[in-house]
A and B are shown apart, each in its own frame.
Chain A
């Protein structure tokens, strides 16, 4: 058995090389001044296009046009096969001949890469009709990187998801100062923030699942108007997921005045009407003003809701983050 099949058969993925891809690769190769650059650019281009196809199929947005490998001047001046993935960085897509033990990674692509995907493409003179995504590495430190060290392709997806969460986290931290926050104290004065509604609004006629188990709070539905109430509860509908197959949940926040000028805040997430359970793996995180996590709950299988509560002082800022897989929605509050 060849080296490649031994090590990568369970990790790899074959995808077709289309005539359009070959035409683009050919066009780029024709711009090169010598045969070896021509072959390099041709193979680099096919590798980039194969990875691009794979990511696009899975709904991951790419920016081919602004990738360096799509710039004629850079192609001449460097051995680059990058693919820009907006918000997540740049992937390097290295072509390699089938059944060789190492993949060549030129020095000029060792930095500034989110990761490396190796793509096996047979000698172009044999007219290959398919390319094989062999695997993934988050970083390289050798010009001849062993194929045996590659991680499965799925690790690429996980890596991108992790990077996405980190990017989002740092965006929140930098934005929080300028962001407008829901002022919960105002709720106690009968003022309700736009987008938030009384909890009754979200109850469907037959929703017995909406049982609020707030500690020590068997009573009160808060009237729509009124002044200086000791507690106030409102909900907001959130859409997780993109395009089709959205998961809708209701975020319910209650603020309750306790003694000595402090407040207790209750945060719950419920499925929107029509569902009995929250999606498994949904997490509710409470973050402090520095975007640090200080409470978290996760929906297990067949959970009707998740809830958290904490105490705070007037003016204190926090945010709630509801996440499912690699989608998250954050809401910002001030007590």
Chain B
């Protein structure tokens, strides 16, 4: 199977894909292969503008929805009128035009600083240091720590590894909140296999953490 399909294979794949109902496994598989082939063909319009990725994402959605049937477009793709890449590029350029107009209207602040002289000096560590919560412990972490430590309902102490009432959800949660102890060191400390500990953590502790997060109504 080559990265990019030749014209004939592409056409056949397209026909085959559309023979299957939307959202069927074969349709999904076909769309995946077609997207891969188109993306690797190098024939899709590219530009390095801020809004390119948004436009491209919208184009793939448009592709999936309108290749075989007209779901959001006025008509589905018609192979007699144009090649698939021409059809997609025309849509992509429309979306890029929208992006350009929008950028004129708003001053979109870039999250990632562009590569200029001073910023190029920035090391990777500085980059992440600047993003991570600064300078205090994030409030969510502090509250989670309190919740685990206080364990007002006693629930976190009640849940423990089978036959090991000393290894409770409370203890593991407190040890795995940052700065976390490694599984290797916990395994040595409690004399339990990593898989026993991590399995317990995943199945019993994470749901408790999840529920706590939901109950606090933390909104992102």
Answer whether A31 and B28 are a contact pair too, CB < 8 Å, given A73-B209, A108-B202, A247-B21: no
Residue B192 lies at the interface, judged by CB distance under 8 Å to chain A: no
- Report Cα–Cα, A316/B137, bound state, in Å: 66
A32 in the interface, Cβ–Cβ < 8 Å? yes
Which residues of A have CB within 8 Å of B19? 280
**CB <8 Å contact, B137 and A10:** no
Does chain A have a CB within 8 A of B64? yes
Residues of A within 8 A of B32 (CB): 13, 58, 153-154, 157
- The answer, yes or no, to whether B189 is at the interface (CB within 8 Å) is no
Q: Once bound together, how far apart are the Cα atoms of A98 and B115, in whole Å?
A: 21
**Contact present for B132 and A32 (CB under 8 Å):** yes
- Structural contact, A242 and B23, CB atoms closer than 8 A: yes
Complex interface bits, B185-213 against A, C-beta within 8 A gives 1, otherwise 0: 00000000011011101110110011011
**Contacts A57-B64, A157-B28; A129 near B210 (Cβ below 8 A):** no
**B14 lies within 8 A of chain A by Cβ:** no
Cross-chain contact B210 with A38 (CB below 8 angstroms):
no
- Flag if B53 contacts A17 (CB, 8 Å): yes
CB distance from B159 to the nearest CB of A (A): 15
Are the CB atoms of B216 and A73 closer together than 8 Å? yes
Nearest B residue to A82, CB-CB: B206
Chain B residues with CB under 8 Å of A29's CB are 128, 131-132
Total contacting residues, chain B, CB less than 8 A: 79
Q: With a CB–CB cut-off of 8 A, which chain A residues contact B214?
A: 71
Specify the chain B residue showing the minimal Cβ separation from A61. B23
The stretch that binds B, out of A194-202, A285-293, A321-329, is A321-329
Q: With the chains together, A24 CA to B141 CA distance in Å?
A: 19
The residues of A that contact B116 with a CB separation of less than 8 Å are none
Whether the Cβ atoms of A279 and B198 lie closer than 8 Å is no
Contact flags (1/0) for A148-161 with B, using CB distance below 8 Å?
A: 00000110011001
Q: Which stretch of B54-62, B149-157, B160-168 is in the interface? A: B54-62
- By the criterion of a CB under 8 Å from any partner CB, how many residues of chain A are at the interface? 76
**Contact (Cβ within 8 A) A35 B125:** yes
Select from chain A the residue with minimum beta-carbon distance to B18.
A245
| Closest chain B residue, CB of each to CB of A127 | B112
Q: Is the CB of A58 within 8 A of B31?
A: yes
B141 touches which one: A33, A59, A68, A279 (CB < 8 A)?
A33
Near B by CB (< 8 A), chain A positions 3-48 give 9-10, 12-20, 22-24, 26-39, 42
Q: Min CB distance, B8 to chain A, in Å?
A: 19
With contacts A10-B2, A73-B144, A108-B198 taken as known, whether A15 is within 8 angstroms of B127 at the C-beta atoms is no
| Interface membership of chain B positions 1-39, coded 1 if the CB is closer than 8 angstroms to chain A and 0 otherwise | 111000000000000000111111111110111011001
A123 sits at the interface (CB 8 A): yes
Please give, as numbers and ranges, the residues of chain B lying within 8 Å of A57 by CB-CB distance.
Answer: 31, 60-61, 64
Q: Give complex CA distance A81, B154 in Å.
A: 29
Distance of A38 Cα from B131 Cα, bound (Å): 7
Alpha-carbon gap, A240 to B199, bound state (A): 41
Is B107 an interface residue when CB atoms closer than 8 A count as contact?
no
The answer to whether B203 touches A111 (Cβ under 8 A) is: yes
A34-B132, A58-B64 known; A325-B25 Cβ under 8 A:
yes
Known A58-B23, A68-B210, A241-B23; contact A23-B198, beta-carbon cutoff 8 A: no
Does A74 touch B at the CB level, under 8 Å?
yes
Q: Which of A291-334 contact B (CB under 8 A)?
A: 324-327
Assess whether A326 is in contact with B25, with CB atoms less than 8 Å apart: yes
Q: Which residues of A contact B (CB under 8 A)?
A: 9-10, 12-20, 22-24, 26-39, 42, 53, 56-60, 68, 70-74, 76-78, 80, 107-112, 123-125, 127, 129-130, 153-154, 157-158, 161, 240-247, 279-280, 324-327
Q: What are 10 A-B pairs with beta-carbon distances under 8 A?
A: A31-B133, A71-B210, A72-B220, A107-B195, A123-B124, A124-B112, A241-B22, A246-B21, A325-B20, A325-B26
